[in-house]
Chain A
Amino acid sequence: MNYPFWDIPFIGGGILIGLVAIIHTFVSQFAIGGGLFLVLTEIKAYKENNSGIIDYLKIHSRFFILVTLVFGALTGVGIWFTIGLVTPTATSALIHIFVWGWAIEWIFFFIEIAAAMIYYHTWDKINRKTHLTIGWIYFIAAWMSLFVINGILSFMLTPGAWIENRSFWSAFFNPTMLPSLIMRTAVSLALAGLYALLTSSNLKNEDLRKLMVKYSAKWLIVPFFILPLGGLWYVSVIPEMAFDIISGGAPAVTLFAVASIFFSILIFGFAYFLPYRHPERFPVALSALFLLMGLTVTAVSEWVREAIRKPYIIYDYMYSNNVLKVNEENVKQTGVLASAKWTIIDTKTETDTLKIGEQVFKLQCQSCHTVEGYNGVKILVKGWQEPFIDAQLQHLNQLKGFMPPFMGSEMERKALAKWLYELNRSY
């Protein structure tokens, strides 16, 4: 309410953030695991004295920089842009808490980019040991940037002791920080394997292709065991409400959580029976399908991670509609319209109830709902009578535990109820 609301018809801002975040996660986690893949595979090539593998790595590393330096880096900036636009209040809070965390992440980002370019350009130009060292620098910097950003991301769900002590360290080393770091690291290794399947199944030389396809498939084994452990730990420390949402409170979220697990098992299972057991019969098309499944898992998991944070955007601190928890009573007393900066309605002179209702919707609900599109409120209240709507508004947080309570004056609530009711009537 402090900032103007960016009105995106039909899809809403949440979807936009999700879209950018999913693409970015899919590429940037590959950027991390892929770094380890490059160095370990390079070591393997030297040990086995196999120049074919080196030739493969040259191709793979070109693919690697084209994907990560360009697409990974820019979609990362894209997330920043998007969250600043859709949830400026929360972004501002995060920036105020973590600006030095981000500044540190930026250092690693810088090293990472420099190392990746140098690594790619110095094949055969410098001695093997130095080349490997640069590869290691790349991987360590990339993983460190995950380490930092993961602390900030996990903070939003479990701010932990920060709520009381406002300490940077409590915020960073929050309860879900470690389990989600473990999960993300495991995913990044798995993604390294998936991307490598794509480039290796494309090799012309028969023997080399067999060797590399099988080897790439092996990269999926370790994460297969680590992921469930990290997942269990994670689920055991998330807030109760979040747990309820996953385990049935919101059927769509449960479905997605199950889908995430299902597709993960599918990927690992297939990886064992196809490229691992029969690397000679593994076409490029199939590796593309694998990647697609990987993208699906990333998408549903990120979506679940976002969904379980409701009704908060920063748990116990800021509601999904950008109202600070400490201001809740305040807004209830003063009214939404009077507390909001960016509204044309003057509460003292405005008499059109529907107009007021619409404004209240914009300020209170639109951060998660659209009118007729995604999570569209028109369908949700279809068939409800006005008094019923009004009654529900008084217990929004009980109607669906993942909604914030309605914050506004009685007049505003009634106006909102009327506007919602009219949505289905007037057309």
Chain B
Amino acid sequence: MESQVIIPDIDPIPVPAPLWLLKVLLLLTFTLHILAMNVAVGGGFIAAITEFLGKKRNSQNHLELSRSISKMLPPFTAFTITLGVAPLLFLQVLYGNFFYTSTILIAWPWLSIIVIFILAYYGYYLYSFRWEKLNGKRFAVVLISAILLAIIGLIYTQNIVLMLTPEKWKEIYFNNPHGTNLNISDPTVIPRYLHFMVAALAVAGLLVVMWGLKNIKSNEQLGKWGIRYGLLWFIIPTLVNIVVGLWFLISLPKNLLMLFMGENIYATIYFLIALVTMFASLIFMFIALNAVKPVMKIMFGKVFLLLTVVMMVLMRHELREAYLKPYIDWEKVQVEPQWGVITIFVLLLLGGLITVIWMLKKSFGKSSLVVHN
């Protein structure tokens, strides 16, 4: 009895949708969540460093950029939550018995996410609404908020890894049932986390590039500077992330590492495609750095980056399935789809998307990324 792994039984109520549908929605909404998070977190760090450089070099360009980012941070933070709620929902139907258990073990750090998030979010609003008035304090305000949000990511990674390693639960729980544990000692947690965070800088860097492109018509000097500055924010973190990614890969237990080395055909293919698309996007961005007409190169770079992100999400999913393979028998999961409600969901989702697009079109007809005066 003692050494056995305890896995809570799956819920006796059937799953109300085909598993594939739930998995697709989980991965789709998670991808969107991560992209929004990238801008909210990475953008915060870039803003902080840009504030710092702007002050040090007395540079108008840096100021213009940090002011523009300040306007984007609150909405992207809002998207991070809204797009985070959806995967949270699907994760619970699919992997609830793993997720609830690991969460209970780290209950207090997990709950602290709410408080940390509220503080960081208000920090971003302060930075945005009071940009002029804050003046000397801007650097500190935005940096603190970004760090707080980054801490949330670390708590997430710890939980998402802990839910995959039921072998550890028993010892943790019986040593401390008060929910004040952490999972930081797992050797995969830090590299896995850094892999996300460094990527956040790169993706947010691309937003800076887009900002440069938008401004190039009204102010060529500023636009060009923005493109170059943003490209560097993309290229340098991405180079760093190659190392971090390798670190993550070798930190995995041997049998899971081998998934990507041919053991699992899907995992291996995703991995290979990801390597190709990642290098492709790096090369395009490199060329764009010194190009006279960088628009198309950046376009290609972006598309390849997006493909890379999608591949990474798929790899992560295969990894999770492999971690849990000994503990889940998908065949045994009862499924009774509520097709009626699913249909309504799909129709409302379409209606919702149309509504939001309509609102955006009506209100920001041109673009909100342009510098307002």
Q: Which of B98-106, B223-231, B322-330 contacts A (4 or more CB under 8 A)?
A: B98-106
Is there an interface contact between A324 and B12, defined as CB atoms closer than 8 Å?
A: yes
Contacts of A344 in B (CB 8 A): 174
A315 within 8 A of B: no
CB proximity of A189 to chain B, nearest CB, Å:
24
Known: A4-B177, A81-B111. A66 touches B125 (CB 8 A): yes
User: CA A335 – CA B117 in complex, angstroms?
Assistant: 43
- Size of B's binding interface in residues, CB under 8 A: 66
Q: Which of B78-86, B183-191, B212-220 contacts A (4 or more CB under 8 A)?
A: B78-86
Contacts of B178 in A (CB 8 A): 6-9
Known: A71-B118, A75-B114, A137-B359. A341 touches B8 (CB 8 A): yes
User: Closest residue to A78 on the B side, CB-wise?
Assistant: B114
B345 within 8 A of A: yes
Known: A100-B16, A109-B85. A4 touches B359 (CB 8 A): no
Residue of A85, A122, A125, A130 with most chain B CB atoms under a 10 A cut-off: A85
Q: Within A65-99, which residues are at the interface with B (CB < 8 Å)?
A: 66, 69-71, 73-75, 77-78, 80-82, 84-85, 88, 91-93, 95-97, 99
Is there an interface contact between B16 and A97, defined as CB atoms closer than 8 Å?
A: yes
Is there an interface contact between B363 and A74, defined as CB atoms closer than 8 Å?
A: no
Known: A85-B179, A130-B362, A341-B6. A77 touches B93 (CB 8 A): no
Contacts of A91 in B (CB 8 A): 92, 100
B349 within 8 A of A: yes
Contacts of B6 in A (CB 8 A): 341-342
Q: Within B1-29, which residues are at the interface with A (CB < 8 Å)?
A: 1, 6, 8-9, 11-17, 22, 25
CB proximity of B112 to chain A, nearest CB, Å:
10
Interface of A is mostly: helix
Chain A 88-122 near chain B by CB (<8 Å), digits 1 or 0: 10011101110111111011111101110110011
Contacts of A71 in B (CB 8 A): 118
Q: Within B54-111, which residues are at the interface with A (CB < 8 Å)?
A: 74-75, 78, 81-82, 84-86, 88-90, 92-93, 96-97, 99-101, 103-105, 107, 110-111
Q: Within A305-328, which residues are at the interface with B (CB < 8 Å)?
A: 324
Known: A3-B100, A74-B118, A130-B363. A85 touches B110 (CB 8 A): yes
User: CA A82 – CA B114 in complex, angstroms?
Assistant: 10
Q: Within A341-379, which residues are at the interface with B (CB < 8 Å)?
A: 341-342, 344, 346
Is there an interface contact between B13 and A97, defined as CB atoms closer than 8 Å?
A: yes
Q: Which of B245-253, B260-268, B283-291, B336-344 contacts A (4 or more CB under 8 A)?
A: B336-344
Q: Within B130-178, which residues are at the interface with A (CB < 8 Å)?
A: 169, 173-174, 177-178
CB proximity of B88 to chain A, nearest CB, Å:
7
B113 within 8 A of A: yes
- Size of A's binding interface in residues, CB under 8 A: 62
User: CA A96 – CA B93 in complex, angstroms?
Assistant: 6
Is there an interface contact between A110 and B356, defined as CB atoms closer than 8 Å?
A: yes
User: CA A111 – CA B17 in complex, angstroms?
Assistant: 24
Chain B 337-369 near chain A by CB (<8 Å), digits 1 or 0: 010111011001100100110011011000000
A-B contacts counted at CB < 8 A amount to: 178
User: CA A118 – CA B368 in complex, angstroms?
Assistant: 11
CB proximity of A314 to chain B, nearest CB, Å:
11
Chain A 44-80 near chain B by CB (<8 Å), digits 1 or 0: 0000000000000000001000100111011101101
User: CA A180 – CA B111 in complex, angstroms?
Assistant: 29
Contacts of B90 in A (CB 8 A): 99
Known: A66-B125, A118-B359. A77 touches B114 (CB 8 A): yes
Q: Which residues of B contact A (CB under 8 A)?
A: 1, 6, 8-9, 11-17, 22, 25, 74-75, 78, 81-82, 84-86, 88-90, 92-93, 96-97, 99-101, 103-105, 107, 110-111, 113-114, 117-118, 121-122, 125, 129, 169, 173-174, 177-179, 338, 340-342, 344-345, 348-349, 352, 355-356, 359-360, 362-363
Further 11 A-B residue pairs, CB within 8 A, beyond A3-B104, A100-B345, A111-B355? A69-B78, A81-B103, A81-B110, A96-B13, A100-B341, A100-B342, A104-B344, A107-B349, A126-B362, A341-B8, A346-B1
- Can you list 25 A-B pairs with a CB-CB distance of less than 8 A? A3-B8, A4-B169, A62-B129, A66-B125, A69-B78, A73-B78, A73-B81, A77-B81, A77-B88, A84-B92, A84-B100, A85-B100, A88-B101, A91-B100, A95-B96, A96-B16, A100-B341, A111-B355, A114-B356, A114-B360, A117-B75, A118-B359, A130-B362, A134-B359, A341-B9
